[in-house]
Structure 1
Amino acid sequence: MPLKVLIVGAGICGPAFATMLRRSDPEHSITVVERHPEIRHNGLQIDLRSWGVPIMQRLGLIDAVREKVVHEEGLSFVDTHGRTHGVFGASGSGTGQQNFTSDFEIMRGDIVQILYDASLEGSKPSSDSEDGPGVRYKFGTWVTGLAQDEKGVDVTLSDGATERYDLVVGADGQWSRTRRLLFGEEAGLDMFKPLNLYIAFYKIPKEPQDDAIARFYQPGDGRCIVTRSADRPYTQAYLFVRTDSEEVKQAVERQSVESQKALFEKLFRGVGWQAERMLKGMHESTDFYADSLGQIKTPHVVKGRVALLGDAASCASPITGMGTTVSLLESWILAGELARQKNDVPTALAAYDAKARPYIEEMQKLPPGSPWLMTLKSRCAIALLHAILSFISWTNLDKFVTWFTPEEKGGLPLPEYPELKLDPVP
């Protein structure tokens, strides 16, 4: 029997899961609710790595990704005078095996649009009713209540409407309301494990020296600045700070933009290189976003007939480079198990919970030395790092290591689900 499914969140994994579910059985009735009034095109550069690449190939969307890729050629480490201490190019592998810069760098809004369009392709809901086949989106709407039994989930929405579903999927991000409703407010928030790392990012006007190489600058005291431009008409600015300061935490986590900008102004004023340009652009930006970075550690990614996906289930943190891949892989496993178990929701969710776990553990492994190496405290440590990076870059040791790195992270292969009716990658 086809399922009546509610997906909470229209970021990356919401539309991805809707696409996979609809293709496996066009008779499913799939509703996606999103609290924003439309698909969000904000956010800066993200990438595909590891299992994310073959999944997009299976979906027939890799060419659409290639049409939108940001042509970033690599990453250089610079000092306060702008002198380069090591340049690391993109791997050029065209697979999930990547270097600092992926071959599949793409703006977040572009990949969201690709997946959103794919989820609606060939889908023609017969009416406004949620009982017919197809995919439909409800914007400006969110979940305020969940009550479930053995046969379904009763959902209350922000507009006061109530509806019953066979399955609810929370794909609503790091601070997931679905997770908090499922496990309790306090327990849901406590599943966020901070790295004591805070980030602000936004766009600033592009200048002539902003080329296809991203730049990474550390002034010390746990701070760093990253810029990325490539072939875009603007420059992306990223400010990072690592600290256990309660003052910083209180000024960043779910606070006003004014409070966040004031904090980053205080932390980055006068730190050298292009800091003044970054701060001027920050105050003029209209797309500023700041948050704390960490990982979501859940005992289970399902409870009853509710499942979590992506950052809501297992945020790996941006410094792993695996956020987009987490969203795609968990969507793949959940959709695959539902198809394999012939829409037996309890059995499929139990299988998803078990099969996703080793992949989650692998994806949440932080790169060696992270986040400390990217936010060093002393200038002596930074000078030593620059010397090491210069040597690695000069000897091409990074390319040698990448050559012998498996495409599948941790050597785990992409699970095969012929039941999804997608062609295997040749």
Structure 2
Amino acid sequence: MPLKVLIIGAGICGPALATLLRRSDPENSITVVERYPGIRHNGLQIDLRAWGVPIMKRLGLINAVKEKCVHESGITFVDSKGKQHGLFGVAGTETGQQSFTSDFEILRGDLSQILYEASLQDSDGRLDTQKKQESTPEGEYGPGVSYLFGTTVTRLDQDEKGVDVTFSDGRTRRYDVVVGADGQWSRTRRMMFGEEAGIDMFKRLNVYVAYFTIPKEPGDDDLARFFHAGKGRGIATRTGDRPYTQVYLMVRTDSEEVRRGIERQSVEEQKETFDKIFRGSGWQMDRFLKGMAESTDFYADSIGQIKAPHVVKGRIALMGDAGYCAAPVSGMGTTVSLMGAWTLAGELARHRGDVPTALEAYDVKIRPYVDAAQKLMPGVPGIMTLESSWAISLLHLIVSILSFFKIDKILMRLAPEEKGGIPLPEYPELKGVYPA
């Protein structure tokens, strides 16, 4: 029997799951609800690595990703005068094995759009005209994928056979499965476990990051740059082949004042907090702070990981950052989100007609991948936010040696393609998904 599924969140893994569910059974009725008025096309640069690469290949979307890739040649570390110390290029493998800079660097909004369009394609690859947000006489959406923008979920009530959902516009609908893919501050998670418990599952790394874009200057090329400003501060710039430059400000601190000035605060207050922290820190900081003040795409948040004991409760499941945020410093956030969509869709297809068993299997099978993705490299995030000038000088020496002898390339070749050596699970039941 076809499923009636509600997905909360139209970021990366929400549309990915919708695509997989539609392809596995075109009769499935999938609704994606998103609080923003449309697909968000802004956002920072993300990448694919490990399991994310073969998943996109199986979906037949890897070429679409390549067309939208930010062509970044690598990363270097710079001092206050802009002098480079070490240079680490891209892997060039187009497999799951990737260097600091991935072969598949892409802006978050571009990847969301690719997956959004894929979810609306029929079996012949034609893009459907999006269905009107109207119910059938039975009170449910018909087969395929529908997006409900500018709307939120305010209440979830479940029993053994389904979930009754109340939307912000007052409507109520019943679904076989509800999936929360609504980010690290997930309202779905808080409704599942309770407000306080849901918030407490976010384990802070005491790192705060701001992202924004500024006008490109002649010196901004296709090489990413990282500057250690000391006192727990780090700055990165990325331009690639784009007509603007991305700026990332990162600070590591246990200051409660800083946390209150950044975490879930207004843009104006966040900008003021970052200005106080970074003013006078060297390199091109005057340019960056001026650009930050004038930016209209500024985004900032606390960095941490979601440590949920389970990602399933009854017929409600969590996916991506909502259930197992790996933190941007892991480099695995996008990949483990896609892994969650792949595993959840696979288990629903495998246990067709038995939703509880499928969700229980998903809860168990996703755990090793989550544990591997959340395992940070030794020294991270401390090595990105060094305190003293001598530690920064030592790091510059080390990265120069590693770069000169191409030790990073050797280590990359020795590493398994899959994170932690855990292979991608195969689901022959996912009919309509392209083979690798």
Aligned to 2:22: 22
Aligned: 1:176 with 2:186: yes
**Is the contact made by 2:45 and 2:107 (CA closer than 8 Å) also made in structure 1?**
yes
Query: What amino acid is the match of 2:435?
Result: P
Residue aligned with 1:180, SS: helix
Aligned to 1:106: 106
Residue aligned with 2:340, SS: helix
Alignment of structure 1 residues 2-21 onto 2, 5 Å:
2-21=2-21
Structure 2: any 5+ residue segments left out of the alignment?
123-127
Query: What amino acid is the match of 2:181?
Result: A
From 253, 266, 270, give the equivalent of 1:260: 270
The Cα shift of 1:45 comes to 0.5
Aligned to 2:245: 235
Aligned: 1:385 with 2:403: no
From 202, 206, 225, give the equivalent of 1:192: 202
Q: Which runs of 4+ in 1 moved over 2 A?
A: 123-128
Alignment of structure 1 residues 176-325 onto 2, 5 Å:
176-325=186-335
CA 1:125 to 1:71, structure 2 compared with 1: closer, same or farther past 3 Å?
closer
Residue aligned with 2:213, SS: strand
Distance 1:411 1:10 in 2: 30
CA 1:125 to 1:344, structure 2 compared with 1: closer, same or farther past 3 Å?
farther
From 351, 359, 374, give the equivalent of 1:364: 374
Distance 1:217 1:26 in 2: 50
How many pairs does the alignment contain?
Answer: 425
**Is the contact made by 2:71 and 2:105 (CA closer than 8 Å) also made in structure 1?**
yes
The Cα shift of 1:124 comes to 6.6
Structure 1: any 5+ residue segments left out of the alignment?
none
Residue aligned with 2:182, SS: coil
The Cα shift of 1:368 comes to 1.5
Query: What amino acid is the match of 1:55?
Result: I
Distance 2:408 2:28 in 1: 47
Aligned to 2:76: 76
Residue aligned with 2:178, SS: strand
Distance 1:138 1:94 in 2: 35
Query: What root-mean-square deviation, in Å, do the aligned CA atoms of Structure 1 and Structure 2 show?
Result: 1.0
**Is the contact made by 2:131 and 2:146 (CA closer than 8 Å) also made in structure 1?**
no
**Is the contact made by 2:157 and 2:164 (CA closer than 8 Å) also made in structure 1?**
yes
**Is the contact made by 1:125 and 1:133 (CA closer than 8 Å) also made in structure 2?**
no
**Is the contact made by 1:125 and 1:132 (CA closer than 8 Å) also made in structure 2?**
no
Distance 1:126 1:144 in 2: 23
Aligned: 1:424 with 2:435: yes
Distance 2:264 2:393 in 1: 35
Query: What amino acid is the match of 1:377?
Result: E
Query: What amino acid is the match of 2:264?
Result: R
CA 1:28 to 1:263, structure 2 compared with 1: closer, same or farther past 3 Å?
same
**Is the contact made by 1:125 and 1:134 (CA closer than 8 Å) also made in structure 2?**
no
Distance 1:423 1:159 in 2: 38
CA 1:125 to 1:208, structure 2 compared with 1: closer, same or farther past 3 Å?
closer
Residue aligned with 2:277, SS: helix
Aligned to 2:125: none
Residue aligned with 2:382, SS: coil
Aligned to 1:44: 44
Report Cα offsets for 1:15-73 as digits up to 9, x if no partner.
Answer: 00000000000001111100001111110210001000000000000000000000000
Residue aligned with 1:418, SS: coil
The Cα shift of 1:367 comes to 1.4
Q: Taking structure 2 as the reference length, what is the TM-score of the superposition?
A: 0.96
Residue aligned with 2:429, SS: helix
Residue aligned with 1:420, SS: coil
Residue aligned with 1:312, SS: helix
**Is the contact made by 2:11 and 2:112 (CA closer than 8 Å) also made in structure 1?**
yes
Distance 2:67 2:378 in 1: 32
The Cα shift of 1:125 comes to 7.5
Aligned to 2:63: 63
Residue aligned with 1:93, SS: coil
Report Cα offsets for 1:316-364 as digits up to 9, x if no partner.
Answer: 0001111111111000000000000013110000000000001100000
Report Cα offsets for 1:200-240 as digits up to 9, x if no partner.
Answer: 00000000000010000001000010000010000000000
The Cα shift of 1:126 comes to 7.0
Query: What amino acid is the match of 1:419?
Result: E
**Is the contact made by 2:120 and 2:130 (CA closer than 8 Å) also made in structure 1?**
no
Query: What amino acid is the match of 2:143?
Result: P
Distance 2:331 2:321 in 1: 13
Query: What amino acid is the match of 2:434?
Result: D
Distance 2:131 2:38 in 1: 22
Residue aligned with 2:197, SS: helix
Aligned to 1:91: 91
The Cα shift of 1:410 comes to 0.6
Which deviates the most, 209-218 or 119-128?
119-128
Distance 2:141 2:435 in 1: 32
**Is the contact made by 1:124 and 1:135 (CA closer than 8 Å) also made in structure 2?**
no
Report Cα offsets for 1:80-133 as digits up to 9, x if no partner.
Answer: 111111110011111110010000000111000000000001257776223311
Report Cα offsets for 1:380-420 as digits up to 9, x if no partner.
Answer: 11111111111101111111101111111111000000110
Distance 2:148 2:130 in 1: 13
Aligned to 2:352: 342
Query: What amino acid is the match of 2:428?
Result: P
Distance 1:293 1:403 in 2: 30
Residue aligned with 1:132, SS: coil
Query: What amino acid is the match of 1:83?
Result: K
